[in-house]
Structure 1
Amino acid sequence: MPLYLTEAVVLSSMDFGESDKIVTFYTISFGKLKGIAKGAKRSKKRFGINLEPFSLVTLHFFEKKEDSLVRVSACDLINPFQGIRDDLFKIAYGSYMIEVVEKLAPERERHPELFKLLTDFLGILEARGVTEDLLRVFEVRLLDDLGLKPHLSDCVICHTPFNSGTKVRFSPEKGGTLCNRCVKGLSTIPVSIGTLKTLEMAIKIEPLKIPRLIFSREVRDESREILRGFIRFHTGSVLKSLEFIEKIKDIK
């Protein structure tokens, strides 16, 4: 029975039975994995915060053919992202990042670029905090990494190109932008050409330049609405972390 090692971010952790925990990881080598850590509730010395959300760890695990969950044998802490844990607003935004990864990423499908995206943005969040603009960049790059990027360049149905004066609508159901001729009977969201160009740029921009991005108010509002609608369509639900973000917005 081989033992596997891989870097991983803990996405979620829940108690199971009297002494165990079921943990969901996003790993660099295996994609999303779910595992059971036997005795984790009782042995705080063995695991500590290593199985708590946000922790970047080296995961040691093995598999049994008859089990759907991998068996966690050890977890070595690399980075607890303590600066996130110590701030309510960073917890809220970080929780959204890991929840959207958990909801959208398929199990056992390797996407090392997604792992880097997640760890990079957790690092930005810890060091600087994350604005709504950066969350939109995270969302659109996440969708791109998973092969789910919305179609933004022309009409997703008839492929009519858009010009600066075109009235454009976005359809989560159809997976992208629509011209006026193709919009009939569909639930859509209005979006400007400027927002579409900004989102395309957000996918291509060099990682070091990402923290410098500042959206206009129009781009911020439109991109929030279309990306949240698109993610909701793919997950089938409103994410709990989004509800938490809305609740604490007025505290500042």
Structure 2
Amino acid sequence: MQWQEQAIILGIKRLGETSVIAEVMTRGRGRHLGLVRNGRSRSMQPVLQAGNEVEVTWRARLDEHLGEFKIEPVRLRAAQLMETATAVYGIQAMAALLRLLPERDPHPHLFEALDVILGHLHEPIGAGELFIRFELAVLNDLGFGLDLNECAATGSSDDLVYVSPKSGRAVCRAAGAPYAERLLALPSFLANGERRGADYHGLEAAFRLTAFFLHRHVYEPRGLTVTSARDGFVQAALKALKRAA
């Protein structure tokens, strides 16, 4: 069996003295692993860096086998991703999010989002907002998407300022006021139709919002801990936004 796809390197694991197992995200075949012979050679090491865009050819006798990758470079951006803290932590944190999804399960929109965000991770002010939207997309694909378009109590789409921790649905100011202490804040930049970017407090609230639902629905039930890369990214993004304010 054989196929060829555009892919983004997520990471590698050493195998023996010369080879590695590469983990990539593809548009049509999702997150996929494959053996790269001589992957630790001088010529291949720069190619197999997280964030690089490559073309992979996968071959195996049977579909369920690990298989072997032949990898050709397309766009090497790993050097740029080493220039800022948001980029260094961001690629690691997004790779960890993608590992929550089943291997070989296609999520083309997540591949496209990853490709776009990788081109902006070196811009700390905008990177935080893009990362939040990526987390929301992953939550949605895992079956725990948030409904932030209308009030759970009234059906109104106006003045949405809270999120119910139980249902993951937005709540308007009037309906949520009596229960404000028990509700999560909905940052204004996530409201439907909002064109303004995130400010410091809005981004801080957004990180708390996605972290809450990821922990409740994904990490805690699976007995997982949040990668330290997310904490590093959050701190770097907030620091950059605060400095720019």
State TM-score, norm by structure 1. Answer: 0.73
Contact 1:57 1:76 in 2 (8 A): yes
Please provide the CA RMSD for this pair.
3.5
d(CA) in 1 for partners of 2:92 and 2:76?
14
Give me the identity figure in percent: 17
Q: Which amino acid aligns with 2:15?
A: F
1:230 is aligned to: 213
1:56 is the counterpart of 2:53: yes
Give structure 2 stretches of 5+ with no counterpart.
Answer: 220-224
Cα 1:58–1:244 change in 2 (3 A) is: same
Contact 1:94 1:122 in 2 (8 A): yes
2:155 is aligned to: 161
Cα 1:221–1:18 change in 2 (3 A) is: same
Cα 1:149–1:167 change in 2 (3 A) is: closer
- What are the equivalent positions in structure 2 for 1:5-24 lying under 5 Å apart? 5-24=4-23
d(CA) in 2 for partners of 1:7 and 1:214?
31
Q: SS state of the match for residue 69, structure 1?
A: coil
Deviation at 1:61, TM superposition (A): 1.1
1:119 is aligned to: 115
Contact 1:35 1:69 in 2 (8 A): yes
Deviation at 1:35, TM superposition (A): 1.4
**Which among 55, 72, 91 is matched to residue 88 of structure 2?**
91
Q: Deviations over 1:223-246 (max 9, x none)?
A: 211112222334413123113336
Q: SS state of the match for residue 138, structure 1?
A: helix
State TM-score, norm by structure 2. Answer: 0.74
Q: Deviations over 1:163-215 (max 9, x none)?
A: 767884432x64445776xx8xxxx64224xx36724447xx7xxxxxxx522
1:132 is aligned to: 128
Q: Which amino acid aligns with 1:44?
A: R
Cα 1:63–1:200 change in 2 (3 A) is: farther
Q: SS state of the match for residue 78, structure 1?
A: strand
Deviation at 1:69, TM superposition (A): 1.7
Deviation at 1:24, TM superposition (A): 1.2
Say which is worse superposed, 20-29 or 137-146, in terms of deviation.
137-146
Q: SS state of the match for residue 232, structure 2?
A: helix
Cα 1:69–1:94 change in 2 (3 A) is: same
Contact 1:56 1:80 in 2 (8 A): yes
Number of residue pairs matched?
A: 228
Q: Which amino acid aligns with 1:219?
A: G
**Which among 190, 194, 203 is matched to residue 198 of structure 1?**
190
